[in-house]
């Protein structure tokens, strides 16, 4: 299970939201072997005055925060990060304008479809 939050300046996020959404999801499918139909994303567009960042970032500065079941290997997580930088860079998002954070949580800390996450039957593996 993964939940993705994408933060950025509202007007900038709107200009590339669909492309970024597809890139993030395809990277998760490839790196974590998620099923194609397991896309959980929220775009959180902020007003420019509500999104503070260092002067060495541009107005395209974007933060991708991914909350996930713990259990993925270090290599799978590194692969996801590499893929995200590679593919967002290919469509013009500078490395300096993208930050990624992976937040792992034990399955028992999740509630999904009426049960704790550690009691949930998944159609895919987490231990990739």
**All domains of the chain, ordered by start, with CATH?**
2-119 (3.30.429.10)
Residue 81 corresponds to which tokens in the numbers above?
A: 């990060």
pTM, whole model, 2 decimals?
0.94
CA dist 77 → 1, 43, 52, 111 (Å): 14, 22, 27, 23
User: Which pLDDT tens digits describe the chain residue by residue (128 residues)?
Assistant: 899 999 999 999 999 999 999 999 999 999 999 999 999 999 999 999 999 999 999 999 999 999 999 999 999 999 999 999 999 999 899 999 999 999 999 999 999 999 998 898 888 888 89
By the 10 Å C-beta count (0-12 exposed, 13-18 middle, 19+ buried), 43 is classed as: middle
Contact call for residues 62 and 97 (beta carbons, < 8 A): yes
Closest listed residue to residue 64, CA positions, set 95, 32, 110, 108: 95
Phi and psi at residue 61, to the nearest 5°: -50, 130
């Amino acid at each position: 299970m993964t939940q993705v939050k994408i933060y950025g300046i509202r007007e900038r996020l709107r200009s590339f939201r669909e492309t970024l959404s597809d890139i993030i999801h395809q990277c998760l499918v490839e790196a974590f072997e998620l099923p194609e139909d397991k896309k959980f994303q929220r775009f959180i567009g902020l007003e420019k005055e509500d999104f503070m960042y260092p002067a060495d970032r541009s107005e395209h500065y974007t933060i991708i925060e991914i909350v996930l079941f713990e259990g993925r290997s270090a290599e799978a997580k590194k692969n996801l990060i590499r893929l995200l930088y590679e593919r967002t860079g290919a469509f013009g998002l500078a490395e300096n304008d993208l930050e990624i954070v992976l937040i792992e949580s034990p399955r028992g800390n999740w509630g999904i479809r009426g049960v704790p996450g550690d009691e949930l039957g998944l159609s895919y593996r987490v231990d990739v």
